[in-house]
Structure 1
Amino acid sequence: MSSVFSPPSIDQQRYAEVCADNARLRAERDALKQQLDWFQRQLFGRKSEKRLIDNPDQLDLGKLLGDAAPPAEPPATEQISYTRRKGKQRRDEDVTDSGLRFDERVPIESIELSAPQLQGPDADQFEIIDYKVTRRLAQRPGSYVVLEYRRPVIRDKRRSSLMEVPAPSAVFDNSLADVSLLAGLLADKFLYHLPLYRQHQRMGDAGITLSRSTLTNYAQRAIALLRPIHDAQWQHILQSRVLAMDETPIKAGKSGKGKLKKRWYWPVYGEDDEICFSFSYSRGQVHVVQQLGEFSGILLSDGYVAYDAYAKQRPVTQAQCWAHTRRYFERALDSEPVAAGEALALIGGLYQIEAQIRERELTGQAKLDSRRDQSLPIVDGFFAWCHQQRQRTDLVNSAPLAKALLYAQNHDAQLRVYLSDPAVPIDTNHLERALRVIPMGRKNWLFCWSEVGAEQVGIIQSLLTTCRLQDVDPYAYLVDVLQRIAQHPAREVEQLTPRCWKTLYAGNPLRSDLEYAR
């Protein structure tokens, strides 16, 4: 008896289409829910990546917004009244011919300069008949002071001629700015993220009348002086055997009315605790090639394809960051709490071993042996677990756990590099901590008006961040280097990088005249 094929009915076809649409919409809903959860964590959640285990008292966002306990009664307060002296008008006589304007609220520190003619065997042939005054604006942390140099005007009795003691040299010729002011401007903006317009407001509140464009000009000229030091530090970083590299966005340059272009910083961390922020117009591989050039060694990074492509073209060993791998599994906790928790526990074991290595201060072969004996079995077990999980038939490719498993297995070899070299860190967290100055800047001074300004930000941040890494006082470093660079041999500019400066000059640095006027 022959069988006759019967095509599916219209209702069956429609049912199959509805089921397919339903599955697609469910996947889209789950993806959007994961994005919403991520954004809520960025706004309201904790920023630490430490895993909280067995903490039933932790409150979620719904409890905080809906079921929160009523607020406690505010503490008792008392009203205090006081009187304040009315501010005085600026004195016209304090508008000097040099352009420095200030009022009576600004303290004046006088520095008496000695005349060499008044010393020695012919001292009686000279006499002081008057003083000339040169004023410069200086800065103490959180306050401003006017340095007043009283320069003797001397008459030579023998020749009936007049002469005067020259003013001390400044960082910039004919400038109103003392080196302490230049160092303070740079430190306040790039270390403490205080934009220049706020510093300008603070000067106005302190009684100083100075245009904002003048502050911008001071900052730009000072950074231009520091560029050779930055370049020397960059060349030393490229000599490292192990480099860590990452990228972070910045808005720089106008692309239209009310719009700014998206640009990039590429921080590179050397093995001697130095960092440089190179500026780029794009996030493409070409910048990695241009900056690293002929580098041959170990490049530690995340899984961005630009680093993979560069490593394949050069004799470079690429190492991957375990923290980035861990974040993929952390994002899968909501949809796969059991499986993702197992992965996080395995990776946590690796970090516990690294913590023990730091506590025991192991280096070299001892550190390598500890990783080989303790970490290697965990890594082998982790990737075996990943392979087992990928065999699950219920795990769709769009699921967060599937993406995490694929990312980990694609970078199996790169994630194992740190096991065979004690100089390679397990992650790029040390680099991410150092590059926080850029996101902090985005939240305060927000953007750069031009690409040239963004490049200058990278120069000064490279030096100041390295000062922090080298345990060098950034303010003292700037005060010394801005004065020293004019007389320092160009061929020895590397001595002025924070790493070398700490050894050569930190014990007896050049200081501002403000220090001697106290």
Structure 2
Amino acid sequence: MKTPLKPTPDMTSLHIKNVQLAERVIVLEQQLDWFKRQLFGRKSEKQLIDNPAQSNLFVSEQAPAQTPESGTEVAAHRRSSKKQTQEQDVNDTGLRFDDSVPQQIIEVPAPELSGEDAEQYDIIDYNDTCRLAQQPGSYTVLIYRRPVLRHKSQQTLVTVPAPVNVLEGCFADVSLLAGLMVDKAVYHLPLYRQHQRMLDSGITVSRATLINWIQKGIELLRPIYQAMLRQMLQSSVLAMDEVPIKAGRKHKGKMQQTYFWPIYGEQDEVAFTWSTSRGTQHAISQLSGFSGTLLTDGYIAYEKAVAQLNKHEHTVTHATCWAHSRRTFEKALQMEPDTAQHAINKIAKLYKIEKHIRDSKLDKGQTLAYRQQHSEPIVHAFFIWVYEQRQRPELLPSNPLTKALAYVFERQSQLRVFLSNPDVPIDTNHLERALRVIPMGRKNYLFCWSELGAEQLGILQSLMVTCRIQGINPYTYLVDVLQRVGMHPAKNVLDLVPRVWKTKFADNPLKSDLSIPASR
């Protein structure tokens, strides 16, 4: 698409107005294409290099299909490796499951064994046919039958006390508390749906009671969350971002816009801090005591926060994300396809180098040397090219390419940080993958009814997302920790952080009484 001419003093007022309208049309067309992509297009930012014949969904002109070169073999089927098939037992039906899945054996009668010729048959073996079944809303009422004793000589009654519960005087077992939290935070199931499922299963509990149970359970987890956040601030590299969430009533019929500020530590831990605004002050307060490298997107609040922190005897280096820089050029593909694609290809070379570093499992020294040898020349040439492109007189300020060039040019010092620090990732994609639970949750429960609810949801999501990253079953973790936190020394609360809990308690976690087989 051609860019309109820049207005000059020699143009008539009508001509200038036509140029401005043409520019406006181009901007609106770009916005329309963006909305189409959000509704129908690919969300992945990966380039389709392996399939150049695939055309854009919204391009009217169909590109001719390219046939594979002669001699290229296209595999129709890839057999799974022996290593993959040995990870789990596979029976004859192809159903895969481990020993933790409950199994029920159903004996199928043989008509031959009950007929007149039954004595002519002997059972020599069994063939098993497996089918995966489900119980809707599986709940169990645990009845603790406590004996009442009478002392014969003293004529007094003694009753065995009930087992200690996580929430004193509560009807909810720890397994139910953990299940409510996991369904809410991990599987994004709102409480009103969980309440409906209970009603369908014959359990009558008010929705307010469920909310009260979860709130009290999360407050038990708050010291663990705080200990994890304090430990994360000791990291040498932190990644930080912000994601919106509606919380609390602004006025009748309107919810207040608030924000989660997830922080990703260098030991694969995530803490979702919460604030009523997107201002700089929250970032400053959360990063108090941190000294190291802060990796973020191009939001100006982070640059201001780093400047303020460095005024108070902090040593914080600000690094920015190359993936966000790439997205600015991707938005310019519609108006400046050749120039924008050239920038995207340059950035793709940096990611190819990072992939080689990961695949080769280079240590810190090797990573630093490899980046300086291969990535630094690409980055240096890229910013020279950016400076040259900004001198083009025909680029209007509203042109997406102009905005993309200005974005990377103003942040070139932050974009170069990864070249001198092997611990700094090239982007914040690892953090964006972790914070996806918030947008996924918004599609289900839409908002948090109160500000306290949003803060508590951040505490719960911090532990649940960290469990996922650490390879821990969130349900097993909660069942253990909710029981352990009341008897664990407060000074050793760091032991209950998912990363440390995995090494100390994961092999023998505390379980609910529900796991004890019922007597028959």
1:23 maps to which of 19, 22, 27:
19
Partner of 2:276: 281
- CA distance in 1 between partners of 2:388 and 2:228 (Å): 47
Q: Which runs of 5+ in 1 are unaligned?
A: 1-12, 65-139
- 1:468-487 matches, cutoff 5 A: 468-487=468-487
Kindly provide the amino acid, as one letter, of the partner of residue 439 in structure 2.
P
> Matched residue of 1:491: which SS?
helix
Partner of 1:241: 236
Does structure 1 retain, via aligned residues, the 8 Å contact 2:136–2:201? Answer: no
Q: Which runs of 5+ in 2 are unaligned?
A: 1-8, 62-134
Deviates more, 1:198-207 or 1:158-167: 158-167
> Matched residue of 1:168: which SS?
coil
Does structure 2 retain, via aligned residues, the 8 Å contact 1:244–1:270? Answer: yes
**Per-residue deviation at 1:162?**
2.1
Cα deviations by residue, 1:250-277 (Å, 9 ceiling, x for unpaired): 1011112211010011111111111111
Partner of 2:430: 430
1:57 aligns with 2:58: no
- 1:324-403 matches, cutoff 5 A: 324-403=324-403
**Per-residue deviation at 1:508?**
0.7
Kindly provide the amino acid, as one letter, of the partner of residue 206 in structure 1.
S
Partner of 2:88: none
- 1:77-476 matches, cutoff 5 A: 142-313=137-308, 314=310, 315-476=315-476
- CA distance in 2 between partners of 1:358 and 1:141 (Å): 44
> Matched residue of 1:300: which SS?
strand
The 4+ residue runs of structure 1 with deviation greater than 6 A are: none
Sequence identity percentage? 56
**Per-residue deviation at 1:285?**
0.6
- CA distance in 2 between partners of 1:160 and 1:33 (Å): 90
Does structure 2 retain, via aligned residues, the 8 Å contact 1:325–1:408? Answer: yes
1:35 maps to which of 11, 31, 37:
31
- CA distance in 2 between partners of 1:345 and 1:141 (Å): 51
Distance 1:15-1:470 versus aligned 2 partners, 3 A rule: closer
Does structure 2 retain, via aligned residues, the 8 Å contact 1:141–1:184? Answer: no
Does structure 1 retain, via aligned residues, the 8 Å contact 2:137–2:198? Answer: no
Partner of 2:114: none
Query: TM-score when scaled to structure 2?
Result: 0.81
Kindly provide the amino acid, as one letter, of the partner of residue 337 in structure 1.
P
> Matched residue of 1:143: which SS?
coil
**Per-residue deviation at 1:26?**
1.5
Deviates more, 1:334-343 or 1:157-166: 157-166
Cα deviations by residue, 1:325-376 (Å, 9 ceiling, x for unpaired): 0000011111111111111111001001111111111121011111111111
Aligned alpha-carbon RMSD (Å): 1.8
Does structure 2 retain, via aligned residues, the 8 Å contact 1:353–1:374? Answer: yes
Does structure 2 retain, via aligned residues, the 8 Å contact 1:253–1:448? Answer: yes
- CA distance in 2 between partners of 1:141 and 1:453 (Å): 28
**Per-residue deviation at 1:291?**
1.0
- CA distance in 2 between partners of 1:392 and 1:445 (Å): 48
> Matched residue of 1:289: which SS?
helix
- CA distance in 2 between partners of 1:158 and 1:366 (Å): 82
Partner of 2:93: none
**Per-residue deviation at 1:55?**
2.9
Does structure 2 retain, via aligned residues, the 8 Å contact 1:248–1:265? Answer: yes
- CA distance in 2 between partners of 1:311 and 1:26 (Å): 41
Kindly provide the amino acid, as one letter, of the partner of residue 154 in structure 1.
L
Aligned length, in residue pairs: 432
**Per-residue deviation at 1:386?**
1.1
> Matched residue of 1:318: which SS?
strand
- CA distance in 2 between partners of 1:492 and 1:24 (Å): 66
- CA distance in 2 between partners of 1:142 and 1:378 (Å): 57
Distance 1:332-1:224 versus aligned 2 partners, 3 A rule: same
- CA distance in 1 between partners of 2:274 and 2:33 (Å): 32
Structure exhibiting the larger radius of gyration computed from Cα positions: 1
Higher relative contact order (CA 8 A, sep 6+): 2
